[in-house]
Amino acid sequence: MSGLILHEDPRSGNCYKIRLTAAHLKLPLERRSYDIMKGETRTPEFLSNISANGRIPVLQDGDRFLTESNAICFYIANGSDLIPDGHYDQADMLRWMFWEQYNHEPTIATLRFWMRFVGLEALTDAQRMQISPKREMGLAALDLMDKHLAERKWFVADKFSLADIALFAYTHVADEANFDLEAYPEIVRWMERIMVMPKHVELDG
């Protein structure tokens, strides 16, 4: 695997997951930047040549274009210690990654996007009415994570894996959506364990 190109918006936590995975693997990535606020992933060129889904991240590997952040992490981490041994533990890792995309990203990441990048005054009425239910679901997600981490250091199989990377991406910036992370001491300790790892990179890197 070489010559990989990451099509990204550098502010996106979904794109950051891939850069963080690549950093732990010491895998070089060429980065191509798109501004989603300017619709740069919805142009006819992007839809035809990069991804018909009109979203970043997209990983280009030769003439193949892979989408979905967690699938891309799974692809580049093949054979590494970021994927646990054993099929049950691999399924359990994927379980947290599916949970992240269903329960965590649409709540915490969406609220962060609205509050930090779109601006509350620019939201539609339909979006504004989702703030409260999304906040409730985001709090429930953080609560579940905190309880899970009370009994273990990492999400799966007693070791750092893609599940931790996927969940770290938007958890560590949840304060940008006005979630008070100090209320979740186990999450704080888990984030600290990740941030001191020698190969760690920052979101705004």
CA distance 71 to 34: 20
CA distance 164 to 189: 13
CB neighbours (10 Å) of residue 152? 12
Q: Could you tell me the CA-to-CA distances from 55 to 9, 41, 93, 149 in Å, in that order?
A: 10, 6, 24, 32
| 192 sits near its own copies (criterion: CB under 8 A) | no
Residue 192 C-beta: closest distance to its own copies, Å: 24
| 53 sits near its own copies (criterion: CB under 8 A) | yes
Sign of CA dihedral 185, 190, 196, 200: negative
Q: Check: CB of residue 152 under 8 Å from CB of residue 158.
A: yes
Residues between 82 and 141 with contacts to its own copies, criterion CB under 8 A: 87-88, 90-92, 94-95, 97-99, 101-103, 105-106, 125-126, 129-130, 132-133
Residue 158 C-beta: closest distance to its own copies, Å: 15
Q: Please identify, using beta-carbon distances, which residue of 99 and 113 lies nearer to its own copies.
A: 99
> Which parts of this chain interact with its own copies (CB under 8 A)?
52-53, 61, 64, 66-72, 74-75, 78-79, 87-88, 90-92, 94-95, 97-99, 101-103, 105-106, 125-126, 129-130, 132-133, 144, 147-148
